[in-house]
Structure 1
Amino acid sequence: MSKPVLEPSAKYSRVMLKISGEALMGDQGFGLHPPTVQRIASEVKSVQEMGVEICMVIGGGNIFRGLAGSAQGMERTTADYMGMLATVMNALAMQSALEGLGVFTRVISAIPMDQVCEPYIRRRAVRHLEKKRVVIFAAGTGNPYFTTDTAATLRANEMACQAIFKGTKVDGVYDKDPKKFTDAKRYDTVSYDECLAKHLGVMDASAIALARDNSLPIIVFSLDEPGGFRGILRGEGTYTRVQG
């Protein structure tokens, strides 16, 4: 199969897509919703066909969230490792959906489990991207007390991504929840420091600080908008850009 060539209209040649585990559960309250996984995989394929090299990090909150488990009395380190395993399950589901669409995909885990995915080796991961494979990073950073937001920012820097695309339920960053407040204001652009100072909830503080220190822009957009991911890579659509 010939590798896709980067479209001249594409604003970036290598990006990180970060989505929450909740994005995979559709209207269900828990677990995986296969049609939703399939729809997101189709969005990823449409961008991959532009010749853009794609990394992904998927949270595990649709299956188990370490912080929630800790709040209910579970020891935090154990709860976080359980959350990491949940991200591996989501990564395998997304890999299956992408490969069903003919997209070559690799799942790379920070926690070695050779029977189901590859261990994280930076040079190998870079090589997969160069071969136009979608690379899904699972199990966070492999360490407790770090979120998948931080893992996405870390891997994006290691892979020399040009931007992080944060897929959410809304079309950007607002000063308050637009689903609860009709007067919520959307930002076209916002600084890293403003995100931290105003607790805008784009990503956790560690991820924002890591992106800021490496001048890595964060593009916040709606994952529910059909064709939105592809459109934004062409400079179209509605989104918020977090930058210095």
Structure 2
Amino acid sequence: MTAAPPQPQARWTTRLLIAGTLAGFAGLPILGTRWAPWLIILAVTSLALLLYGWWFGARGPGAVMRGLLARWLELSGARRGPGGYEVRVFDGLQPLRITLSRNGRDLCAQVTTRLSDTTLAFRLWPDGQEPPSFTGSMSRELCDDLRRAPAVEARLANLYRADANQPRALDRAITRDLMAPLLAVRKAATPGYRGVTFDGASLSVHWRGPATADPERVMQLSRPIWAAMVVEDAAPQSGGLLAR
């Protein structure tokens, strides 16, 4: 496994901290005792931050995230995205964005793709778990007034909890073609599978825990969900999956 290259912002931060450390210590004999306290504070603070950054990246949580990112970059055609821990990949049907993060001690992966813009927002998550958040949502105003969708829950055999800003529209959108992959993934992926969110523009499949270290498995299980929604969304007779 190869380590992911450092981002330009991280390199500049390191350079500034090194410069601050050197400037602080070098300035002591030049500027004299009047500036000594401030120079010492500058040098010690810069050195402390530099050492913490080294520990975070080499031995701390940052090392875990870099290893996880490197693992995801092994996917065929994967490239690093502009975000801190983001991977972009095209799987032959749809461009995908994978966002990696931490929640406490748990590693998280969010597989996201675009659908047609709509005024509907919803989330579906396995019964007994916490609902996934709309991380990175560009349409947060649609996600602020979600209401439970019991009809959708019943149709999904109560294996999911569901809420939406338009529960009836969500009930119409969840066709049998979409129910099948949702139920199959729910039964196959416990406990790493955390559910699905749609913010009015982007659909995300959420994963958490050890499952995130197996990107091939995550992609295999995620694909039926978003692929069914993409195909249905593009169907001429649908007028857009969620615009019904």
TM-score range, shorter chain: under 0.3
Report which of the two has the higher share of helix. 2
Give the structure with higher Rg (CA): 2
User: TM-score normalised to the size of structure 1?
Assistant: 0.24
